[in-house]
Structure 1
Amino acid sequence: MSLSTRLLLGWFVIAGLATVLFLNSILNQVPSSVRQASEEVMVDSANLLAEIAEQHWQEGFAADSPFAAAVDRYLARQLDAQIWSRHKTGTELVIYLTDLNGTVLYHTDPQQVGEDYSLWRDVSLTLQGKYGARTTRIDPEDDTSSLMYIAAPVYKGGQLVGVLTLGKPNASLHPFITLAHGYFWQRGGLILFGALLLGAGMAFWLNRSVRRLVDYVEQVRHGERVSPPQLADKELARLAAATEAMRREIDGKAYVEQYVHTLTHEMKSPLSAIRGAAELLQEADVPEPMRARFLANIDGESLRLQRLVDRLLSLAGVEKRQQLEQTERVDLAEIAALELEAKRPLAERKGLTLTQECDADSTLMGDRFLLEQAISNLLDNAIEFSLPDGAVALQISNSGAALSLRVRNDGPAVPDYALDRVFERFYSLPRPDGQRKSTGLGLSFVREIARLHHGQVSLNNRAEGGVEVELTLSRTHQEREGSTSLS
């Protein structure tokens, strides 16, 4: 199960439990709240009827009395009231009057007239001057058969003469309680659904950030030089920064170890030659021609060491970069023309012909100095591996989204076993004219420059003979990066 799924399920369980508990606490209060609201209305109604009963106290409450006739007419009314979801069609109130002894003087159920209600709480408490109310079930086994009774004192000339009680079935409140329950459960479902969507969004956002961090770590593990992701979450951003710092420390140590190892290996040969020549020069009676040759060997090997150190420093500087710091619009054809002109004396010594062919638009955003170095290294390789009286051609083509720079010669093909290794650091092949190997850093340097320009470089043997190196650079990506860096 993925992290986002676990987070979503956890969030849904927590939100669901919180919603259910919250709704239960509210729904448990709904019945009592509805009854309290109904009780308040009944208190007002009972006191109003008590005032009306006081007006008829002298004439009594017999079945043919005006008070009894008015109540009978109320009970006979056909109602047509749409109260929210409930359609009310009949009356439900129960009304009775008792005297100071609790004897029923009037009741909507005539059979109750004359009964003793003095022990009922509504009557007894009201006769004591207190608030009288009760709830009584008609069927003790059925809680829906209960009625709520509210009593009000009847005064005559400022003296308490009786009690009027108003009763209402609690069952009449159940439709409203059910409606409230449905309303709250519906809203609760919407809240839970909204919480689910919010949780899904949070899980997606967090998982996306974690996935970006995991992808970054995986890329680092495979040796790719990538920048840490920019994360909105502070903790994940700190983790990414810590991972990047750790990567730099590890890469720095590995980089130093690798370079020390390769540098010492590459320096052994020229140092041995210098030491051997120096030892021979220390001997007495060394002929002058031999002395000159030994000195020339020392000078040549010293230059070789210097070139090795210079190339290593240049390559190290490029390899440490993760992106170009400053870019400008450069014309690749112009740079190629200048580099070809600079290499012409070297080519003429071997009788080589240098040619250039370029498309009309060969501009891109990049680092001019690095591109000059890349083209210079490619031309050096092409000239060194060319046969005398051969040709070196440079071609630049524009495909719209990318520029492709090809350098080819008509020299010997690269062995198959070396095709996959020519861009490795310190890997070099013997020159066809018998010259010793180079530092083996030129093509590795070109590869790093291509990476910084979001491009790639490849080397292939030509079917018609010779070798071709192709350097491809993205124009669209460089333009976006250039506009970003300049803004």
Structure 2
Amino acid sequence: MKIGLRILLGYFLILGLSAWLILNVVVEEIKPGVRATLEDTLIDTAQMLATLVADDVAAGRVADSDLMQRLQNYAQRSIDANISGIRKTSLDYRIYITDTKGIVIFDSDGMDVGQDYSSWNDVNRTLQGKYGARSTRSKATDETSSVMHVAAPIMEQGRIIGSLTVAKPISTINPFIYRSQRKILQRSAWLWLGSLLIGIGFSWWLNRTLRKLQSYATSVENGDKASLPDLGNNEIGSLGRALEAMRDKLEGKQYAEQLMHTMAHELKSPIASIQGSAELMREDMPAADRQHFLNNILEQNARQRQLIDKLLALVKLEKQQSLAHVHLVNIPRLLALVAEDAQPRLQARSLQLQQQIDATITSISGDELLLRQALGNLLDNAIAFAPAGSGISMQARLHINTDNRPSVQISISDQGPGIPDYALDKIFDRFYSLPRPDAAKSTGLGLPFVREVALLHGGSIKVENQASGGVVATFCLAT
């Protein structure tokens, strides 16, 4: 499992558990909180009413009291109130009064006058001078039918002469509880969704950055041209830059050691030839022999200079991870310039260059100078191995790759002897070269140079024998 997905799943797990815990606590605390508020209101109401009816209860005129009559008529009043979006159409208080024995002497609903309520907690505890309250279901099997009762003592000269209870169905506050729970759940859902989107965004960013770094590391491992991508100014970016610096140091050290070894090996032969010719020239010899050895020194010196120049150009390309100068390169014009550069060598060997360019090909993005040098190297090889008086073909066509991406393929073919089987996997090695028909020795740096140019342009180079004879070099460029 990818690290980004692991982090995302861990984030969701923590978020889900936290949300569940918070919602569970908050939602479950709403009911007791609202009920406690209701009980507090009932306490105040009971205490106030107990004070108002104290004189009538003490005088024994409960049945004839105007106040009691008004309390009796209280429940018959009609209202229509909108409380924060919840409609209230009825009054829900029930008020009853008991004497010191717990016998109901007044009931605003007119139901239980004369009933013994001394066993109910609200009455019993209040008559004992304690706080009395109870919650009782009006229907034993219905949890929503609970009614809260809160009592207050009726006092005369410091003694309890009765109790007054105010009752209210808990179901009347349920709409407010459900509305609060619904709002909390809705807003929690939006909060969870927002956190989810933030988590997905963070995971996407982390995965994208890590994929960039992983792709770069894979390219380095495969030896491909790769520049460190923009990873941002963060810990991952610092890690990428550290890897890039480590890569440069390791590759630089290894490359320098390999370069010095191969260069020393390749320079041994011309140096030995120059030294031998110089030593022989110390002796007296005919002018013709002296001129021969002098020409040999000049030729070997030129060979060394050519070797060093081409090697420096190759080294520069091999250390380059991307093109420094990118412009639109017109393919027909580029091939015309390559052909023009090769005209002297073509004429010297009486070779005919045939060009065929697909009419749909126009321009690509790249470095024209490097492309010109690379194609020139391929054409030079074809000229060197083509039989005198034969033909060389240079074609350019549009090709659709397996991933449906178009590319330009430039192929140069000759009618020469072809590449021996033993050399097919060595021709791109630095300093490796095959004997030429004219006995001239190349530097062995041409094809490695071509390969580096192709890689810098996101393309490839393939050299293979043709079934009909000769060699075809296919230079592929991404459009």
Matched residues in 1 for 2:341 and 2:209: separation? 50
Q: Does 1:135 align with 2:133?
A: yes
CA contact (8 A) 2:30 2:177 kept: no
CA contact (8 A) 1:53 1:154 kept: no
Deviation at 1:317? 1.3
Against the structure 1 CA distance between its residues 90 and 336, is the aligned structure 2 distance closer, same or farther, given a 3 Å change threshold? closer
Identity of aligned residues (%): 35
TM-score by length of 2: 0.79
Q: Contact (CA 8 Å) 1:453, 1:473: kept in 2 or not?
A: yes
Aligned to 2:466: 462
Tell me if 1:316 matches 2:315. Answer: yes
Aligned to 2:205: 205
Equivalence for 2:425 = 420
The answer as to 2:154 corresponding to 1:149 is no
Q: Is the 8 A contact 1:39 1:150 kept in 2?
A: no
Match of 1:270 in 2: 270
- For 2:416, the equivalent position in structure 1 comes to 411
State the alpha-carbon separation in 1 of the partners of residues 234 and 169 from structure 2.
58
Unaligned 5+ residue runs, structure 1? 126-131, 476-487
C-alpha spacing 1:380/1:119, structure 2 compared with 1 (3 Å): closer
Moved more, 228-237 or 354-363: 354-363
Q: Give the structure 2 partner of residue 289 of structure 1.
A: 288
Q: Say if 1:203 and 1:329 are closer, same or farther in 2 by CA, change over 3 A.
A: closer
- Secondary structure of 1:356's counterpart equals strand
Give the deviation of 1:66 after TM superposition: 4.8
In the alignment, what sits opposite 1:327?
326
Q: 2:455 aligns with which of 434, 451, 468?
A: 451
How far does the alpha carbon of each residue in 1:225-270 deviate from its partner, in whole angstroms, 9 at most, with x for none? 2122323572112211221221122221122122112111211211
Equivalent residue for 2:478, pick from 460, 474, 486 = 474
**Alignment of 1:370 onto 2:370:** yes
Q: Which residue of 1 aligns with 2:10?
A: 10
Which residues in structure 2 correspond to 1:147-186 (within 5 Å)?
Answer: 147-149=148-150, 151=152, 165-168=164-167, 171-172=170-171, 175=174, 179=178, 183=182, 184=184
> Secondary structure at the residue paired with 1:371?
helix
| Unaligned ranges ≥5, structure 2 | 401-405
| Matched residues, number | 460
C-alpha distance after superposition, 1:66-115 (max 9, x if no partner): 555555566799999999999999956343277xx999884434346897
Between 201-210 and 303-312, report the one with greater CA deviation. 201-210
Are the equivalent residues in 2 in contact too, given 1:106–1:113 (CA < 8 A)? no
Aligned to 2:338: 339
Measured after TM superposition, the shift of residue 377 of structure 1 is 1.1
TM-score normalised to structure 1 length: 0.78
Q: 1:443 is matched by which residue type in structure 2? A: L
Whole-angstrom CA distance in 1 between matches of 2:414 and 2:245: 44
1:173-195 deviation line (CA, Å, top 9, x unaligned) = 78468737853567656655654
Going from structure 1 to structure 2, the CA distance change for 1:74 and 1:233 (only over 3 Å counts) comes to farther
**d(CA) in 2 for partners of 1:232 and 1:285?**
73
Tell me if the contact between 1:359 and 1:398 (Cα under 8 Å) persists in the aligned partners.
yes
> 2:242 is matched with which residue?
242
CA distance 1:364–1:91, change in 2 (3 Å): closer
- 1:397 CA drift (Å): 3.3
Q: How far 1:442 sits from its partner (Å)?
A: 0.7
CA contact (8 A) 2:459 2:478 kept: yes
Counterpart CA distance in 2 for 1:412 and 1:94 is 119
2:230 paired with 1:230:
yes
Q: Report the residue type matching 2:269 in the other structure.
A: S
The superposition leaves residues 37-82 of structure 1 with CA deviations (integer Å, 9 ceiling, x where unpaired) of 3135435644664686479679854446555555556679999999
Q: Contact (CA 8 Å) 1:49, 1:164: kept in 2 or not?
A: no
Cα distance in 2 for partners of 1:180, 1:150 equals 29
Counterpart of 2:441, as a letter, is K
Distance of aligned partners of 1:280 and 1:472 in 2 relative to their CA distance in 1, 3 Å threshold: same
Task: In structure 1, give the amino acid aligned to 2:113.
Answer: P
Amino acid at match of 1:167: V
Structure 2 Cα separation of the partners of residues 305 and 355 of structure 1: 34
> Would the aligned equivalents of 2:46 and 2:151 in 1 still touch at CA under 8 Å?
yes
Moved more, 37-46 or 453-462: 37-46
CA positional deviation for 1:398 = 4.6
Indicate if the aligned counterparts of 1:330 and 1:365 stay in contact, CA closer than 8 A. yes
Aligned runs of 1:27-176 on 2, under 5 Å? 27=27, 29-42=29-42, 45-46=45-46, 49=49, 53=53, 60-63=60-63, 65-69=65-69, 71=71, 93-96=94-97, 106-108=105-107, 109-111=112-114, 134-136=132-134, 147-149=148-150, 151=152, 165-168=164-167, 171-172=170-171, 175=174
- For the residues of structure 2 that align with 1:18 and 1:438, how far apart are their CA atoms? 73
Rounded Cα–Cα distance in structure 2 between residues aligned with 1:217 and 1:398? 32
